[in-house]
């Protein structure tokens, strides 16, 4: 998009994209933790409190990803509008 408008876009656009990517990485890490916890639970029995913490951490990460996705969609739409010919 920067090439289309022949100037760099606002820094908030790249910041929003970076936060979105970071949120994706956090969700992936929490999901891996959940998978590891679920597989170890099958072998050793159910420590319920730890399971709830892992699932809660995943839920928090998904909420952050949802918010970051909404913001990045809006930012990309604005960037697209700025690149359109007038």
User: What is the tens place of the pLDDT at every residue in 37-85?
Assistant: 877 766 655 555 667 889 899 999 999 999 999 999 999 999 888 888 7
Block residue for tokens 């990045």? 72
- Which DSSP symbol is given to 6? T
- The structural domains of the chain, with segments of one domain joined by +, span 19-81
Q: What is the mean pLDDT of residues 26-42?
A: 86
The segment with the largest mean pLDDT, out of 4-13, 32-41, 66-75, is: 66-75
Q: What is the mean pLDDT of residues 9-25?
A: 93
For the cut 60, the answer to whether the pLDDT of residue 11 exceeds it is yes
How far is Cα 34 from Cα 62, in angstroms, rounded to an integer?
A: 13
Full-prediction pTM beyond 0.85? no
């Amino acid at each position: 998009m920067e090439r289309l408008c022949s100037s760099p876009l606002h820094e908030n656009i790249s910041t929003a994209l970076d936060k979105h990517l970071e949120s994706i990485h956090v969700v992936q890490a929490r999901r891996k933790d959940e998978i590891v916890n679920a597989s170890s639970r099958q072998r050793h029995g159910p420590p319920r409190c730890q399971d709830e913490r892992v699932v809660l951490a995943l839920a928090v990460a998904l909420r952050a990803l949802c918010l970051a996705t909404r913001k990045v969609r809006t930012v990309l739409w604005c960037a697209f509008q700025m690149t359109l010919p007038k």
